[in-house]
Every structure is written in C-alpha cells, then in structure tokens.
Amino acid sequence: MSKGLADILKDYLPKDKTFDILHLQNSPVEVRPIVTVEAQDNTDNDLSDVTIKILHFFSLAYNKKFVFGMEIHVYIILKKAENISNIDYSTADRLLFVSKADTNGYCDVKFSAKQITKGLIRYLFSINPSHYLKKVIPLERKYPKSNLHKLITKETKLDDALHILAERCNESSTTKEMRYQSTLSEPYYNSYKTPSDITSKLCLFTRPADQYLFAESSKNPKKHTLSGAGLLKWWLSIIDELLCELFMEDSIGKLRIPGEEPLTIRRYLKTTKFKNWMVGDIFGGTANSLAIFSIPLFSDDPKSRFLHELVEENRVLTTNLSTFWMELQERQEFKLSETVSVIGISGHTIIPNFLNVTNKDTMITLSKKEYKYIKNYITGEEYNSEEGALESYENVTNYLAYKFNTELLSVIGGMTPRVKTQRVVETQPVVSILQPRKKAKT
C-alpha cells in the first residue's frame, strides 16, 4: 500500500507526540502562463502550453493549538513537443512555489520547523501528478445552452438567478453537493493524460518577517524568528537535503542574492552537500534577455510586484535581467529587511512510487472561496495570546465536523531526538576552520 501524508510526516515529528494536521487543497484550475509569453502572429492557441495551479495549505496543531503553517502553490505546466499534432502533452514541469511559512511559538513541545517543512515538501513531490490532471477547472467554461437555465454563472442576470434559486428551494431533497455533482460534472472540466517526462522544480523567495500567517504572533516572546542570513541558511539546508534525497544527480540548485557579488553568494554554498549548486536562478534567459519573458509571476511575490511596477513605468520592454536584479534590491521592501534571496532547484525526482491523495490526507475544496474560508479560520485569528491558537483550532475542528463530518489528520511522531553530543562534534570544526580563514583575508 502506498504511503500517505501521515506516514511521511511521522518521520519529521518528535517521537510519541501526537500532532493534528490540516491539509487544504483547492480544485486544480487552469491559469494564464506564469511567464509572459512573447506575442507571435501565428500562435495557435490550441498548441500552447497549459498551466494548472493548485493551492496547498498546511497547518500543524499540538495540544489543540495550531502552531505552524505553510502555503505552497503547485503549478503543473503541460508542454507540447513541437510538430506533435495529437492532443497529448509530451513533457511537463511540476513547480512548487513556497509562498509562506510561519510559526507562532505556542507549541508545548519542542518540534523542528525545519523538519516539518522538509517533510511537507517531500510529501508534495511524492504526490502522483495525475492527481492534479483528472479534473481541471478550465480557463473559461463553455456551458451547453441546454443547462444554462439551471446554472448561475458570471453572465446570469439578477432576476434569472433569483428564479433559479427559487426553483432550487423547491427541490428540497437536492443537496448542494448533489447539484454540484449533477450540473458540474465532467463536461465542465478538462482532464489530461499524465506525461511520462516530468521535471520537478521548487522555487522560493527568502525574506524574514516577524509574522506571515499568524497575525500578531510576533508579540509572543516565545516565538522564534530567524535573521535574513539565518533564514537563507535554514532554507538552503532544507533544499540541499531534499536535492540529495529526492533528486537525480544531474539536477541543479541555484541561489541568487539580489545585489550580492557571486563570491559572497558562493560562501553560502560552501556548506551544501549536493554537488550541482550554482549562483543564479532557474528562470532561464541571459543577462540581456528581457526580464518580463523570463521571470515568473507568482501571487504575493516581490519579483512580481516589481514587474508590475515596470509595466506602470512603461519600462517593461526595455528592462533586461541584469538591470532587473540590480534594481530589485533597491526596492523599499528589500531595503527594509536584511539578506533576501531567491532559491530554485530543477531536475528529475527519484521517487519510486508516487502516492495517491486520499480524502483522509487532504481536504479538497470545491472552490477557491471555500479554500480561503477555511484557511481564514487560521490566518484571520490574532495570535498575540495563546487564545488565538486555541480558538482557531476549535473553529476549524467544529467547522470540519459540522460541514463535512470529518476531522483533522492525526499523526504520532516517530523521529528520535538528535543526540546533543553529535551537534558539538559537528559544529566545533566549523568554528575552528572559519576563524583562521577570516584572519588570513584581512
């Protein structure tokens, strides 16, 4: 039997401690390409790539309190090889964009945010990509005319919508779920065959903040935050381990620190174990390429905000990648914080058996609205006191029980604590090696 979320996560949680996990996923939805495509006169829309976006939100609870959260956006980009005329896509990218990770400091036992982050990313890379491709909400739905009298769409006029609602009230035996199944069944979704050649990628932007997902949690003196350089090293170590454990040898890891010389960036890479780490990014293009045609647009991402600014300033078609990275570090939001970086990896994974997502593991919401609604029970709370962590847990568990007759996934940790003496042995040589080197340079 293939592993599930709990089987994977238990190896990253402290031994014999019981945690609860909320894992939300929205329905896969087709979106516009994340990298702006250069307009070509003869572009045949049917032959272009298909980009599918899926949101994942994880929150970990201990002792009836949510204590850790992470949001990751998954993009599946289906690509058609040139001169292939059938409808199948021959290759695909599976790109994970880590949007936000945060803690609130209210956990009653010591757990490693680093380990749980690693475990969750491993889980996402282990999901069978076909899970995302069976039922995809198209970019635009073409509703058959025969069904329009039953559906309320963006085009439905107000009085027609009221009529439809009144009719639905009369059909008291039809639940929302049944109506959803009958009216929005297969013809309204796209489905795709899973390409055999899938390149797995991960990218993220490291920028420390007092809080991201748990508002006001910075007021908890027990919350532990990392400096810019600390956060960079923290992520680098997680991603380096994932590269070693999950990726083929010819995969690549890239690190860019806007405004920093390659020499300085290479210093961060000295401690990595995977051999293919380089200075740069996974977005492609050369220094002279236009940034707009290389940099992907992610939601709530400083790089995307800067690209939008370039559009407003009418400079987007003259700004090349070299200028883009140079000017990016001058932006106010960068100046205010410490070291920030862009980390990316790309390659083929060596996961022998992809896992299939089950209802027990994952709560797949019917709409983005529902996804946001449930997530908001956690992110909409205030965490200046422990009450926020307790309230959000209470609200989420009540909602899941009442609305879906379900509960959070329970996981008993199986990770043995690190032996202290090992750490001393590990850290001592680093200190003794680094000190003489510093002296030699001055």
Q: Which residues bind ligand ACO (CB under 6 A)?
A: 98, 100-103, 112-114, 204-209, 212, 224-226, 231
Q: Which is nearer to ligand ACO, 103 or 365 (CB)?
A: 103
Q: Which two tokens stand for residue 79?
A: 């690509």
Name the minimum Å distance from CB 201 to ligand ACO.
Answer: 15
Please give the radius of gyration of the chain, using alpha carbons only, rounded to the nearest integer.
24
211 near 102, Cβ under 8 Å?
Answer: yes
396 near 377, Cβ under 8 Å?
Answer: yes
Name the minimum Å distance from CB 299 to ligand ACO.
Answer: 13
Bridge partners of 92, per DSSP, are 78, 198
SS3 388: helix
Please state at what angle helix 228-246 crosses helix 113-126, rounded to 10 degrees.
40
Give the integer Cα–Cα distance in Å for 183 and 144: 11
Name the minimum Å distance from CB 58 to ligand ACO.
Answer: 12
Q: Which two tokens stand for residue 371?
A: 């996804």
Name the minimum Å distance from CB 229 to ligand ACO.
Answer: 12
Give the integer Cα–Cα distance in Å for 378 and 26: 16
Q: Which is nearer to ligand ACO, 13 or 52 (CB)?
A: 13
214 near 113, Cβ under 8 Å?
Answer: no
Name the minimum Å distance from CB 427 to ligand ACO.
Answer: 8
Query: How distant, in Å, are the alpha carbons of 184, 188, 368, 432 from that of 142?
Result: 12, 7, 20, 67
Name the minimum Å distance from CB 349 to ligand ACO.
Answer: 21
Name the minimum Å distance from CB 85 to ligand ACO.
Answer: 41
Name the minimum Å distance from CB 1 to ligand ACO.
Answer: 31
Query: How distant, in Å, are the alpha carbons of 172, 207, 213, 325 from that of 224?
Result: 52, 15, 14, 30
Give the integer Cα–Cα distance in Å for 95 and 89: 16
Q: How many CA atoms lie within 13 A of 312 on its CB side?
A: 6
Q: Which is nearer to ligand ACO, 342 or 357 (CB)?
A: 342
Q: Which of 20, 240, 281, 301 is catalytic?
A: 301
**Residue appearing with tokens 């909320």:** 22
389 near 103, Cβ under 8 Å?
Answer: no
Q: Which is nearer to ligand ACO, 118 or 131 (CB)?
A: 118
Q: Which is nearer to ligand ACO, 24 or 113 (CB)?
A: 113
Q: Which is nearer to ligand ACO, 160 or 300 (CB)?
A: 300
Q: Phi and psi (nearest 5°) for 242? A: -65, -40
Q: Which residue is nearest to ligand ACO (CB)?
A: 114
Instruction: Give the residue from 276, 316, 271 showing the smallest Cα distance to 295.
Output: 316
Q: Which is nearer to ligand ACO, 49 or 338 (CB)?
A: 338
Q: Which is nearer to ligand ACO, 25 or 103 (CB)?
A: 103
Give the integer Cα–Cα distance in Å for 287 and 279: 13
Give the integer Cα–Cα distance in Å for 189 and 29: 9
210 given a catalytic annotation: no
Residue 307: how many other CB atoms lie within 10 Å: 20
Q: Phi and psi (nearest 5°) for 408? A: -70, 155
81, exposed or middle or buried, with CB in 10 Å at 0-12, 13-18, 19+? exposed
Catalytic amino acids? 301
